[in-house]
Every structure is written in structure tokens, then in C-alpha cells.
């Protein structure tokens, strides 16, 4: 509705008035409000996945660090590929 009001309004004043009316109507109808957005950016940290205990420890430490620096730090765990774990050796035929 806001997008349509923006496209149909001939001036910023009319658009602003429409937005105020929408907010009033939505509050009368007890329309759910969008959740407040987090302040700050999300920082992704790529880490190798070893085991569940390691992952839980890292998540707790990054959560504590997030509170200190007031930025969301989220771990992204990656597992090694099978070909990285197994070394392929070529066999030579004589």
C-alpha cells in the first residue's frame, strides 16, 4: 500500500499524509508491527567444522564478543571436502 501511495502521490506532502493515515488505520486494526531492525551489521566468520563441541564453544564465544563490540558476529562452519581428506594416488602400470 505504501508503494502504491508513493507512485500515485503527486507530491511528498500527499504521500506523507497517506502514510500517516495508513499507520493510523493499521494501529486501529491491530495490524502486527514489523520487528525492530538490529543496529549494526552482521559479520560472518568462516571456520572449519570439527565437531559439535567445538561449534558450540565458538558460538558462545562469538555471542559474548558480539555483545562487547555491539555487532552481530555469526559463525559459518564449513566442512572439508572428501577429496581434501583423502589423497588420491595414481597407480602406474608397467
> Where are the chain's structural domains?
1-34, 35-80
The reported pTM is: 0.42
User: If you average pLDDT over residues 13-24, what whole number do you get?
Assistant: 84
- Model pLDDT for residues 28-57, shown as the tens digit of each residue: 887 776 555 555 578 888 888 788 888 888
Backbone conformation region of residue 70, classed left if phi is above 0, alpha if psi is from -120 to 50, else beta = left
Dmax (CA) of the chain: 86
Closest among 62, 67, 61 to 38, alpha carbons compared:
67
Beta pairing partners, 46: 76
Determine the Cα–Cα distance for residues 54 and 66; give it in Å rounded to an integer: 18
- How long a stretch of residues is the chain? 94
Amino acid at each position: 500500500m505504501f508503494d502504491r501511495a508513493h507512485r500515485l502521490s503527486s507530491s511528498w506532502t500527499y504521500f506523507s499524509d497517506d502514510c500517516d493515515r495508513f499507520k493510523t488505520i493499521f494501529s486501529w486494526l491491530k495490524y502486527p508491527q514489523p520487528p525492530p531492525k538490529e543496529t549494526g551489521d552482521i559479520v560472518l566468520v568462516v571456520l572449519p567444522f570439527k565437531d559439535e563441541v567445538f561449534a558450540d564453544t565458538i558460538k558462545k564465544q562469538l555471542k559474548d564478543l558480539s555483545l562487547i563490540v555491539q555487532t552481530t558476529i555469526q559463525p559459518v562452519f564449513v566442512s572439508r571436502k572428501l577429496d581434501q581428506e583423502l589423497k588420491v594416488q595414481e597407480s602406474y602400470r608397467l
